[in-house]
Amino acid sequence: MTFPVVGMVGGGQLARMTHEAGIPLGLKFKLLSDTPQDSAAQVVSEVVIGDYRDLDTLRAFARGCDVITFDHEHVPTEHLRALEADGIPVRPGPDALVHAQDKGVMRARLAEIGAPCPRNRIVSDPADAAAFAEEAGGFPVILKTVRGGYDGKGVWVVRSEADAADPFRAGVPVLAEEKVDFVRELAANIVRSPHGQAVAYPVVESIQVDGVCDTVIAPAPDLSEELAGEAQQLALRIAAELDVVGHLAVELFETRDGRILVNELAMRPHNSGHWTQDGAITSQFANHVRAVLDLPLGDPRPRAPWTVMCNVLGGDFPDMYQAYLHCMARDPQLKIHMYGKDVKPGRKVGHVNTYGDDLADVRERARHAADYLRGTITE
């Protein structure tokens, strides 16, 4: 029996952890990476170094792969259509993935299917942004480049027309959105297979610091069963309407008046699902692999009442390995996941997961470990 070859475009930590999830299944991975130093390129045995934006490179990489999937959403849509025309399964496919690549396309399609979103429209210049602000009830408003932004990049909080010049300097379309009065950010993570089977993970709370995910709490504390169910059903409906195959993260705002609004979509394993590595029966990475190969999906239920994930960001303490002695001795149940990246200030270089019965204790353990690894605390 020949096991399938999964082709992963992108060599970041998501590819690294997806490869890890495929090892127990005996799957073969082939990686298209920018450099040999990329996170996944350090651990995958078959690595092709090349530019994912070059169609010939993509075609050569895809030969011998049974399916192509992604570490990021940046591969040009027309290149993915060419791979499909060559007979290579691409999952998620280009018709779905474009909604994670282009925020304008996403907002238009979500409006068509009646998904709740912040008020929004494409704007042409600072004066048009000011006109949108008036329509939305006044400044501040949010401006986003429709392509390429992540972790707070390509996003501006604009408080006046004069403040709105920067987003237009790149010469790309700009999406304006109302600034939502929300109490917290949530994420609904689901996985869907080609034949339509789908599973939903518990809805989580995602805490951002300076536009970067800092902490994820699973499940979201004090979230009503009704709103949690609504969020899961919304994510499942979006996946079905957009024909998503693989993992879909629907980032949400919980508003002060008790509603949920769709903020962003990601069609790949996502930071808000990292807790599933240790806190769920089947991780987001394992289920993504199962989905793109059209295997039966695994159980998404949590293993413990609470799981907390904290990202480990780079700081002024480059030798994180020295911190292992303290962290592991202090908390033998702690799970550390490092990405093999050079430590740079503010860079995601790993994450920790903790779990247990008492939320306050679980949060403190995760926060302490992440801060100790970073070097912001020393005891």
The CATH number of the domain holding residue 147 is 3.30.1490.20
Examine the domain organization and report whether 167 and 305 are in the same domain. Answer: no
Task: Answer yes or no: do 165 and 189 share one domain.
Answer: no
Residue 111 lies in a domain: no
Are residues 187 and 150 part of one domain? no
Nearest partner of 352 among 314, 310, 323, judged by Cα: 310
- Looking at the structure, tell me whether residues 337 and 261 fall in a common domain: yes
Axis crossing angle, helix 103-112 with helix 94-101, rounded to the nearest 10: 110
Position 316 scores a pLDDT of 80
Residue type, 204: V
Same structural domain, 240 and 312: yes
Q: How many domains does the chain have?
A: 3
Instruction: Please give the Cα distance from 216 to 186 (Å, whole number).
Output: 9
117-160 per-position pLDDT tens digit: 999 999 999 999 999 999 999 999 999 999 876 656 789 999 99
List the CATH number of the domain containing 35: 3.40.50.20
Q: Are 223 and 217 in contact (CB under 8 A)?
A: no
Task: Supply the pTM of this predicted model.
Answer: 0.96
For residue range 31-55, list pLDDT tens digits in order. Answer: 999 999 999 999 999 999 999 999 9
Binding-site residues from annotation? 103, 144, 177-180, 185, 263-264
Is residue 364 domain-shared with residue 218, that is, in the same domain? Answer: yes
- Residues 226 and 295 occupy one common structural domain: yes
Say yes or no to pLDDT of 1 above 70.
no
Q: Which residues span the domain enclosing 285? A: 182-374
Instruction: Return the percentage of the chain with pLDDT > 70, whole number.
Output: 99
Taking only the tens place, the pLDDT of each residue in 251-303 is 999 999 999 999 999 999 999 999 999 999 999 999 999 999 999 999 999 99
Residue 133 domain-assigned (yes or no): yes
Residues of the binding site for ATP: 103, 144, 177-180, 185, 263-264
Number of H helices and E strands in the chain, helices first, is 11, 17
